[in-house]
Structure 1
Amino acid sequence: MRGRVLSETLITWEPTVRGTEGSPPLLLDVSLNSLVSGERCRGGNKGVQMEQHKFCQDYDGYCDLCTCDPPFLLSEDTFPPGFPMKENIPITIVTANNPHHLYRLLKNLRWVAGAGQTEVVVVVDGPHEETIRLTRLFGHRVIVHTPQGVPGENTRTNSNIAFALHTALSLWPAADKVILLEDDLLLAPDLLRYFHQTAWLLDTDSSLSFVGAFGQNSYPTTAACLDTVLRVEMYPQYGWMTSRRWVEHILPLWVPQGAGRQELL
């Protein structure tokens, strides 16, 4: 690819015996004009669109959210048709300071069948203004979690997930289950159908901890049959659904602050 050079920088260092270990960081400072002009995009000054314009004046990198030809209008009802749901299963999304991945997920969620019927809360690990404003543009509830732990430990991730589970079930006390999504996922259009079709398993089998939508065992030898759900022994990750019963049982036993699994040995 060729384009205009925006900035150049160079660092030099003495290589160590083990290669580039210990090299200084490369710092690049560039000031760019926003892609959004001073004029309003189509839609005028109405409601969410005004807030969308203000957001795009402050932050770049959101592609169709911040373009004027044509913009992705959050005020439009873009949800696909829903489907009958026997129970309310809210979604809690865990994130921190990764707003561009979160934007992709929130936009992706609007294409999932049943999303328009499903309540969502986004739990942000720390007071990251860009992430908070982006979530509110989409009309979702946002809760800020006070970060725990120190850099280099997995306490921050563990505590944010625990807080997200507790938050969702506290916000919706009548809900018996909750879906947890991480902010960098790409969602299948039938994700919510899958969770609602498998929710009864958590009601009938008390030995099940969760239903996972991410399969590390999705190989041709183990996932060749599209109408078969496999039972495995592994920890929940990325995108999964669990029950209030399991959350209330596991939170008092949650991974303690520190380096992680070895703390339990």
Structure 2
Amino acid sequence: MLNKLNYYNSNLLKHKTNKKKIIITVCLLVAIYYFFFLKTGSSQEIGKNKDKILFQDDEQIQLFTMDDKELFSRKNGWNYDELENVINANIADMNQYNYEEKVSKVVWLDHIRPVNENLLRIKNNGKSKNFQNTNSIQHPDIAIITSNKPEYLERLLYNLLLVSNANVQRIHVFHDGYSEISDILKKYGVNPELHVSQYRHVANLKTQEEKLYYMNSHYKEIFNYVFNNQSMDKVIFLEDDLILSPDALKYFDILSNLMDVDPSIFCISAWNDNAFKFQDDLMKTFQDSRFTFYRQDHFGGLGFLLSHQIYTERIEPIWDKISTEPWDTIIQSAMSPGDQCIYPEMPRSQHAPNIKRNYTSVLDHQNEVDHWGFYKMYSDYENIASNVLDLSNLLYHKYDARLRSKIQNATEIDSFTAIPVLFSSTNDFVIYTKAISNSDSRWDKVINDLGIVGRGNGNIVRGIYKGVVETTYMGRNVVLVGEYSVFNNQTLRKTKPKFAVKDIPMPAAESLSGDPLSNAFYYRLKNDAALDLSIAHRGKSCEEHCTDKKQLCKEADMVLLTQPNAVLLMMEDQCESTEFSDSSSESSYLPFHMNDDTCLIPNDFRYLTCTYKPSAQLFGSRICLCRKISL
């Protein structure tokens, strides 16, 4: 009996052991399959999971559904291998024709725009004018946010309908009831304004905290209305003090297609924080600049487009409308590492807080009335053309490949001072900074030296992309690379020559030997045969003066006229002395020759301009630097 019992127990033990092995084996196979699918799963399946997003956390790949609110506070970031799989899957989901039409072979057809009120049929009934634009184009819905500036709202509506060919049925005006605008909306045929705020704007908002709370609440409710109440797919948001270019709505419509392919594209912005006139790239044609677009880690405002998906999945879950945090900072914080906004080299919007500035003043190059007037904006009415663009280069992996190649082929220099000296080079330049993060204060020194706008929402460097800023200086392309950037290839740098300013042979003027930048500017002015320094006739702009000489005026060249010592040496026959102009005077942005032979030099080259005509109150003429076309 005992032997039978031992035999039974022995078999039972073996059975349990085998069962345990089977369970372990099955679990192991499931784990292997799960891991394999997650790491290398079919790109087709990934692309079809539109409600899911891939992030990287502690070097482990995890798949979260977009319903998981915790996702948005984790602040992880894109795993770029998986992101590329998603992009390729999205492309595969589109048929070849749709992909070419929307991404790789996009036809950008400029529409004939009305140039006078005869083409924008105006019917005057004795009380108001009813505008009917018969030449409207296809574009996403537009949400205009306005408060207490009815004259700005009217300027924007006129601009949208007359210049940008907007479809009036797609314009939605959100008003807080602070001022009466019903007559303006009736005049332009816009649907009645929408009141979505919990309370009206009141005049006794005094503290900054009250104002921020109000703006935050107002914007949040507008976003909720268009994306949740109306379920609009993509929306262009415009504040009332903007001016738009003729092709602004075309820009938004075409560029927004990229968001359907690349989920890391967070927004489309019409604004470029550093599109000063002196930032022209002299190696590019006008058309090249018009169709050059970039990615940046900074949320671009002043005319931007967001999608329903981006709002509901990224922004809304973290937006507390009772917060006093600025609304644009909240949107910036919703961007995960690896999210970017697209923005243009040549802006399609211009911030115009001075009501005297309008589209006509931009088109006709009228004198600037505030510092925003020194920004570029596409404003060509005349050249109606059809262009074919390959926008696939803006998809993250292709964009990175282009940028990496550009940096690898650029000439490394140690200082901006080398650029005016190496003017005969046709290569791009690269400068490596010691900055170890986006927040590193060493970026600020570089930004200040370049005269560009610094930090924006969330203290992010404007225009920065993965530790890289693409900009221009003296009309030449310059790439700034942080030490922490993935594009900082130390191994490659060791194999390439580097130009240090101290090692560049440069005959120095005796009086400038202790001033490297003035010395470099003087060297360039003296030796660049393409440049012609002269004084314009009184009352003429430098653009008119250079045109009379069959030459060109470029603000990028005129940066050379911002060092008094260099100008004094070059113009010793005309200038008895040089001094910086008073920052509050009209000449603060004009190199200017006074009647007493004093030459005034601007102390801020961001506001250099070729088009400004001096007023009669200035007793003298403009100093101009013209570029010879043949050279």
Q: Which residue of 2 aligns with 1:186?
A: 243
Aligned to 1:163, which of 218, 221, 228? 221
Q: Which residue of 2 aligns with 1:216?
A: 273
My pick for the range that moved more, 245-254 or 223-232, is: 223-232
| Offset from partner CA, 1:22-53 (integer Å, 9 cap, x none) | xxxxxxxxxxxxxxxxxxxx944xxxx54x3x
Are the counterparts in 2 of residues 96 and 131 from structure 1 also a CA contact under 8 Å?
no
- Deviation of 1:116 after TM superposition, in Å, equals 2.5
Q: Which residue of 1 aligns with 2:198?
A: 146
The answer to whether residue 178 in structure 2 is matched with residue 120 in structure 1 is no
| Offset from partner CA, 1:190-227 (integer Å, 9 cap, x none) | 11010011011111111121100011032526896322
Letter in 2 for 1:165: F
- Deviation of 1:251 after TM superposition, in Å, equals 1.8
- Deviation of 1:103 after TM superposition, in Å, equals 1.1
- Deviation of 1:178 after TM superposition, in Å, equals 0.5
Could you state the TM-score of these two structures normalised by the residue count of structure 1?
A: 0.62
Letter in 2 for 1:202: M
- Deviation of 1:171 after TM superposition, in Å, equals 5.9
The answer to whether residue 162 in structure 2 is matched with residue 111 in structure 1 is yes
Partner-residue secondary structure (3-state), 1:235 = coil
Could you state the TM-score of these two structures normalised by the residue count of structure 2?
A: 0.28
Counterparts of 1:53-64 in structure 2, within 5 Å, are none
In 2, Cα distance between the equivalents of 1:255 and 1:233?
Answer: 23
In 2, Cα distance between the equivalents of 1:123 and 1:110?
Answer: 18
Letter in 1 for 2:166: A
In 2, Cα distance between the equivalents of 1:213 and 1:222?
Answer: 19
Are the counterparts in 1 of residues 168 and 189 from structure 2 also a CA contact under 8 Å?
no
Letter in 1 for 2:135: P
In 2, Cα distance between the equivalents of 1:211 and 1:117?
Answer: 22
Letter in 1 for 2:180: E
Are the counterparts in 1 of residues 163 and 246 from structure 2 also a CA contact under 8 Å?
yes
In 1, Cα distance between the equivalents of 2:164 and 2:214?
Answer: 32
Q: Which residue of 1 aligns with 2:569?
A: none
Pick the structure with more helix per residue: 2
Pick the structure with more strand per residue: 2
Q: Which residue of 2 aligns with 1:239?
A: 303
Of the two, which has the highest radius of gyration?
A: 2
Aligned to 2:316, which of 241, 248, 251? 251
Identity of aligned residues (%): 25
Letter in 1 for 2:316: L
Letter in 2 for 1:233: D
- Deviation of 1:234 after TM superposition, in Å, equals 1.4
Aligned to 1:260, which of 325, 337, 345? 325
In 1, Cα distance between the equivalents of 2:217 and 2:150?
Answer: 20
- Deviation of 1:115 after TM superposition, in Å, equals 0.5
Counterparts of 1:193-208 in structure 2, within 5 Å, are 193-208=250-265
Are the counterparts in 2 of residues 93 and 164 from structure 1 also a CA contact under 8 Å?
no
Partner-residue secondary structure (3-state), 2:243 = coil
- Deviation of 1:91 after TM superposition, in Å, equals 0.4
In 1, Cα distance between the equivalents of 2:169 and 2:293?
Answer: 24
Unaligned runs of 5+ in 2: 1-122, 334-457, 459-631
My pick for the range that moved more, 89-98 or 139-148, is: 139-148
The answer to whether residue 183 in structure 2 is matched with residue 96 in structure 1 is no
In 2, Cα distance between the equivalents of 1:171 and 1:210?
Answer: 21
